[in-house]
């Protein structure tokens, strides 16, 4: 993989040494993708967990989360527990609290004295020509959180608790290593792209397993040139190369050479998806087209297209995407089957992909017009 910042590895090692001394547990997966767990992050996630639930809730707690909650509920005095819950309720009025608290943890010193590294962050942002005021606005309203986390770390005996949770984290790291390696290799193989030729938008990817977070949460901020994926596994550990696939196909979907044909495809369905989640998030036709294609390829790679029965699951998953407004996904799957038979690289096949997609879309529109006369609606 080729990254836009050629000295990325040096910068990452510097940042790990400077910002999080002796607390990071990172393991290389493939290229510059790593998995990170440390005491500051765990302390933050544990604080939110005990502050969010007054009773153990098996519907919202996997075994490790219930284990952490019960331990903290036994360890901490009732009055202090009530104080934490009041503090969390106040913080959670901001719907982005968990994201912002995670970002603060990534920019704080290790325990036992958890301190927001504000001056260090300001110097870093200035050195990169960034907007210091804008960056610091991310943490507005959380000024007291590091002090709260320090008290919580000591009173909750987090170091011992974190050590007792290590078997769960070791298993998660192993699974992430396996899944990331497999899916990345599958994505490169499917698109027939040499990984050395891919230029990513960010310097590197860090996966943070939040094993005690809310069910199904996943955040993917790009922060200081690093793409952070914060995952809360539930029934199983999973990962998606979605954002990486965006950069694999961006030279095609964002190329001036293809823009007119892509617009002719999206324009034909644009009015039909006006009041859908897809249009809410992707109001630009090119970005919408790009997102449909990434979602289709992502599902193809994840399902393992050659296994028996996976085609049906794949079609069902893409039909669900269409119900959310990503109506090109099922048609893109049909054209991608032609791509698979072609033996070409996706880059070489892409002009034909667009022509075939437009042809299939025109055919579906003609059928939809007939259906409309019968009283049904397209999609």
Q: CA dist 272 to 30, 211, 281, Å?
A: 41, 40, 15
Cβ atoms of 20 and 226 closer than 8 Å:
no
Q: Distance from CA of residue 178 to its chain's centroid?
A: 17
At 16 the pLDDT is: 35
Q: CB-based contacts of 137: which residues, under 8 Å, 6+ apart?
A: none
Q: Is 228 in a helix, a strand, or coil?
A: strand
Q: CB-based contacts of 92: which residues, under 8 Å, 6+ apart?
A: 52
Q: How far apart are CA 321 and CA 287, in angstroms?
A: 16
Q: What is the DSSP string of 287-335?
A: HHHHHHHHHHHHHHHHHTTTSTTHHHHHHHHHHHHHHTT-THHHHHHHH
At 7 the pLDDT is: 39
Predicted TM-score (pTM) of this structure? 0.76
H or E segment and range at residue 218: strand 218-219
Name the token pair of 145. 């959180």
At 204 the pLDDT is: 78
**CA angle at residue 190 from 185 to 193, to 5 degrees?**
75
Per-residue pLDDT for the chain (379 aa), expressed as one digit of tens each?
554 443 333 333 333 333 333 333 444 444 568 888 899 999 999 999 999 988 888 777 889 999 999 999 999 999 999 999 999 999 999 888 988 999 999 999 999 999 999 999 999 889 888 889 998 998 989 999 999 999 999 999 999 999 999 999 999 999 998 998 889 899 999 999 987 788 877 777 888 999 998 776 555 566 667 788 888 887 788 888 888 899 999 999 999 999 999 999 999 899 989 999 999 999 999 999 999 999 999 999 987 655 556 778 888 999 999 999 999 999 999 999 999 999 999 999 999 999 999 999 887 654 443 343 333 333 4
At 217 the pLDDT is: 58
At 239 the pLDDT is: 85
At 153 the pLDDT is: 98
At 232 the pLDDT is: 85
In this structure, the number of other CB atoms found within 10 A of the CB of residue 240 comes to: 21
Cβ atoms of 227 and 218 closer than 8 Å:
no
If you ran DSSP here, which 8-state letter would residue 185 be given?
A: H
In this structure, the number of other CB atoms found within 10 A of the CB of residue 192 comes to: 14
């Amino acid at each position: 993989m080729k990254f836009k910042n050629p000295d990325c590895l040096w910068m990452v090692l510097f940042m790990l040494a400077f910002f999080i001394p002796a607390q990071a547990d990172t393991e290389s997966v493939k290229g510059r993708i790593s998995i990170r767990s440390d005491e500051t992050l765990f302390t933050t996630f544990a604080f939110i967990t005990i502050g969010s639930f007054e009773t153990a809730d098996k519907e919202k707690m996997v075994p490790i989360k219930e284990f952490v909650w019960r331990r903290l509920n036994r360890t901490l005095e009732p009055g202090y527990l009530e104080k934490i819950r009041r503090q969390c309720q106040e913080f959670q009025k901001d719907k982005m609290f968990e994201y912002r608290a995670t970002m603060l943890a990534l920019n704080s010193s290790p325990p036992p004295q958890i301190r927001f590294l504000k001056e260090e962050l300001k110097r870093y942002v200035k050195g990169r020509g960034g907007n210091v005021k804008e960056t610091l606005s991310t943490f507005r309203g959380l000024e007291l959180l590091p002090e709260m986390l320090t008290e919580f770390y000591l009173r909750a005996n987090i170091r011992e608790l974190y050590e007792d949770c290590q078997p769960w984290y070791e298993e998660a790291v192993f699974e992430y290593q396996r899944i990331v390696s497999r899916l990345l290799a599958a994505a490169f193989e499917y698109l027939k792209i040499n990984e050395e030729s891919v230029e990513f938008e960010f310097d590197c990817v860090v996966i943070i397993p939040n094993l005690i977070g809310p069910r199904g949460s996943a955040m993917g901020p790009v922060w200081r040139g690093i793409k952070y994926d914060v995952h809360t596994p539930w029934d199983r550990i999973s990962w998606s190369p979605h954002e990486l696939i965006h950069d694999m196909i961006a030279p095609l979907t964002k190329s001036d050479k293809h823009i007119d044909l892509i617009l002719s495809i999206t324009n034909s369905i644009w009015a039909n998806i006006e009041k859908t989640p897809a249009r809410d998030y992707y109001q630009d036709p090119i970005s919408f087209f790009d997102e449909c294609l990434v979602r289709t390829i992502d599902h193809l790679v994840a399902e393992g297209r050659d296994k028996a029965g996976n085609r049906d699951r794949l079609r069902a998953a893409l039909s669900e995407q269409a119900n959310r407004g990503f109506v090109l996904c099922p048609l893109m799957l049909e054209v991608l089957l032609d791509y698979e038979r072609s033996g070409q690289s996706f880059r070489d096949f892409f002009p034909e992909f667009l022509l075939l997609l437009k042809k299939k879309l025109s055919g579906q529109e003609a059928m939809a017009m007939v259906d409309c006369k019968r009283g049904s609606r397209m999609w």
